[in-house]
Amino acid sequence: FRNVVLIDDFTASGTTFVRKKDNGKWTGKIYKFFTAVAETRKHFLENNKHFPLAPDAAMRVHHYISTTQARNAILTRLDAVKADVTGWFP
């Protein structure tokens, strides 16, 4: 697959989507998805199996309802996580 679409029902502040905790670790829905994909890809490769998601697959996120505050917070945090986490979604 070259595209992945995640659908979320609502975001008000954007903090459940992606955030950096006080201890410096990232968390949130998209980060948990990212780590699940990375761990599963590694497991597939270690077992000589084809992983169906392309390494450069585009990530699309759709929120049915969101606030302007959430949109701005998410965009800022996505820039930060891209700079901080190796191999983040393109």
Q: Secondary structure of the chain in the HEC alphabet? A: CCEEEEEEEEECCCCCCCEECCCCCEECHHHHHHHHHHHHHHHHHHCCCCCCCCCCCEEEEEEEEECHHHHHHHHHHHHHHHHHCCCCCC
62 within a domain of the structure (yes/no): yes
89 within a domain of the structure (yes/no): no
Where residue 76 falls among pLDDT bands split at 50, 70, 90? Answer: very high
Query: What is the model's pLDDT at position 90?
Result: 81
63 within a domain of the structure (yes/no): yes
Query: What is the model's pLDDT at position 11?
Result: 78
Query: What is the model's pLDDT at position 47?
Result: 97
Per the structure, the complete domain to which residue 36 belongs is given by 3-84
90 within a domain of the structure (yes/no): no
14 within a domain of the structure (yes/no): yes
38 within a domain of the structure (yes/no): yes
* Domains held by the chain: number: 1
Q: What does the pLDDT average to over 51-72?
A: 88
Q: What is the pLDDT of residues 1-52, one digit of tens each?
A: 999 998 887 777 878 889 999 999 999 999 999 999 999 999 999 999 999 9
Query: What is the model's pLDDT at position 42?
Result: 96
24 within a domain of the structure (yes/no): yes
